Amino acid sequence: MKKLLILIALTSLITSCDPFFDCIIDNRPQLNDKVLSNGFRDFYYEDSLNAEINNDPTDNSYYYYFSVDGLPAGMDYESYGRELVIFGTPRVSGHFTLDVYLNVEAPESYYDDDDGLFEDGDDLCKDSTSRQYNLRIQ
């Protein structure tokens, strides 16, 4: 009877939707660790951040959606694939904390150059992340 209970427990553990087993390979989005360059009030500023899917060589196939809170007046952002560009002419000086949010969507399928086949899009352990960056405008 004890062996049967252990077998039932192991079977339910393996077949359950436990996040631990869904994320054995930690493939989640991440924003790079970067120190933003300092800027100057009333002068054009531009810097960029990059994102990736951890442990996934096909991270260029994903769709990346960024949003940024905390930009000083006169500044904006745009994204190009995995790159987030922060730009503009700041109208105020100070220290700003930028909250960068990233949502990622896996492709339905993609072409794998290594084996020449179309692959189904992978499920991610997590499809969003965020990070704070400091921006100094003098």
Q: What are the tens digits of pLDDT across the range 49-100?
A: 999 987 777 778 889 999 999 999 999 999 999 999 999 999 999 999 999 9
Which amino acid makes up residue 26?
D
Query: Pick the residue with more confidence: 113 or 40?
Result: 40
Q: What is the pLDDT of residue 106?
A: 84
Residue 42: left (phi > 0), alpha (psi -120 to 50), or beta? left
Helix (H), strand (E) at residue 30: strand 29-31
Q: What is the pLDDT of residue 4?
A: 53
Edge-first strand listing for the sheet containing 94-105: 63-69, 94-105, 128-137
Please determine, for residue 19, whether its predicted confidence score (pLDDT) is greater than 60: no
Q: What is the pLDDT of residue 12?
A: 47
pTM over 0.75: no
